[in-house]
Amino acid sequence: MSGGDMAKPLLGHRSMEGDPSITPAAGRTIGVLGSGDFARSLAIRLVCSGFKVVVGSRNPKRKAGLFPSAAEVTFQADAVKKTDVIFVAVFREHYSTLCDLADVLVGKILVDVSNNTEINHHKESNAEYLASLFPACTVVKGFNVISAWTLQSGARDGNKQVLICSNNQEAKRTVGEIAQVMGFTPVDMGCMSSASEIENIPLRLLPAWKIPIFLALGLFLCFFTYNLIRQVIHPYIREQKNKLYKIPIEVVNTTLPCVAYVMLSLVYLPGVLAACSQLYYGTKYRRFPDWLDQWLQHRKQIGLLSFFCAALHAVYSLCLPMRRSHRYQLIEMAVKQAVEKKMNIWVEEEVWRMEIYISVGIIALGLLSLLAITSLPSIANSLNWREFSFIQSTLGFIALVISTLHTLTYGWSRAFDENQYKFYLPPTYTLTLLVPCTVILAKVIFSLPCIQQRLLRIRRGWEKGRYVKFVLPSATGEYSSGETSSNV
């Protein structure tokens, strides 16, 4: 499997992939204790990877038909005697049932693949508990972040990283070797104290998505309430017209592009703030505030939610002519035109506005689709840094500009029409322009040569106020040294 096809290792931890000390392991015998879904999937993957597999079960005759024919299914004591590396695929509460095997497990490597049902459910991790029950064994935590589906389908159809930790370096190297032969990327997470962190990973529900989701929901509720006041409550109070039918489709469809547009601008706003901070302090080594640092780390999720809202907006827009209310309005307009004997209601300006508005919107959605696709790990890993940066930064900014044109053509001259101000509230699209236009203006300013060069120097390590040595020739032709400030 090529290196480009493998997932990137976790930041801050060493990947074992490509380690020259790791030698091929295919052909060795691997033991599996357990007969559940994960044990079966693990056995299948090991057999497909060229290992000899012996499965230990309390009822081998009953469970033999669940495993591949190439795997030997026998009693637990017999399975343990045939291998030095054993995957313990049983729940924590059943660890005590293995105590009868303590004598034959001496000196073996036990790979704990278990997970808890709750985060930090126990004071000590499952792996540490297993090590306390079998002190004569070497326990390695690993494979718990890999699903049974991934094991059966191969590393191409799921998470490719296997997080490994143990107090024994040689045991970690052995398990990492096995993981690599199976097609996964072993990642060394350190000593056994990291086991609790590894066991908590599968239990966290979208940890990186909580803030972006709450942000999107907050924006949606704000814009939805604002549009509800303008499109439903205002006609009811001023004209006694019941417009409640607009809530499911029309009000929602007016809200979704607002959320998508603002969320897209929020992807690039933290970069602008970071650049302002670097220019103000004259260094790249000053730590950003925690809120800005968190914001920068959530840009991918914010961008994907922006694309999600934009896609929903496109679907809702296509459904607008399908509504019964829309058909009634068309009939009413046709009857009104016949009564007034109007033969031509063609408005050239409105025709061009809608043509441009729809065309620009399609282009913006296409660019957002490209940004979303390239953010997927499988696609991002096939791009070099320059290609990825061009798509996410340059094309992303172009998408923001085109989205701004889409919004402006939607509003056209209605911002200057006093009838559009319901309860003295401006049209919704005028509010959405504030943040995106700020980002675009800042980007234009940063593109000026004088500011762009200074920002580039800072990002290459230049610091304001730092003193550097220089050498000048004297009148006698000799050279003398001195110091000067780097911001001169």
pTM of the model: 0.76
Nearest Cα residue to 374 out of 390, 361, 384, 388: 388
Instruction: Locate the DSSP E strands across 11-160.
Output: 14-15, 29-33, 52-57, 72-75, 85-88, 109-112, 138-141
Place of tokens 């015998």: 29
Could you tell me the residue ranges of all domains in the chain? 29-203, 207-460
Q: In whole numbers, what is the pLDDT of the chain averaged over residues?
A: 88
How far apart are the C-alpha atoms of 183 and 2, rounded to whole Å?
A: 10
What count of other Cβ atoms lies within 10 Å of the Cβ of residue 165?
25
Fold identical between 29-203 and 207-460? no
Percent of the chain with pLDDT over 70: 89
> Could you read off the pLDDT of 75-119 as tens digits, one per residue?
999 999 999 999 999 999 999 889 999 999 999 999 999 998 888
pLDDT of residue 7: 35
Per-residue pLDDT, averaged over 352-381, amounts to 93
Distance set, CA 241 to CA 227, 238, 255, 327, 386 (Å): 16, 8, 21, 18, 56
Helix (H) or strand (E) holding 342: none
Dihedral sign for Cα 412, 414, 415, 417, please.
positive
Domain 207-460 has CATH 1.20.120: yes
- Does the pLDDT value for residue 24 go beyond 70? no
How far apart are the C-alpha atoms of 264 and 269, rounded to whole Å?
A: 9
> Could you read off the pLDDT of 425-475 as tens digits, one per residue?
999 999 999 999 999 999 999 999 999 999 999 999 898 876 544 444 554
Q: What is the CATH number of domain 29-203?
A: 3.40.50.720
> Could you read off the pLDDT of 219-276 as tens digits, one per residue?
999 999 999 999 999 999 999 999 999 999 999 999 999 999 999 999 999 999 999 9
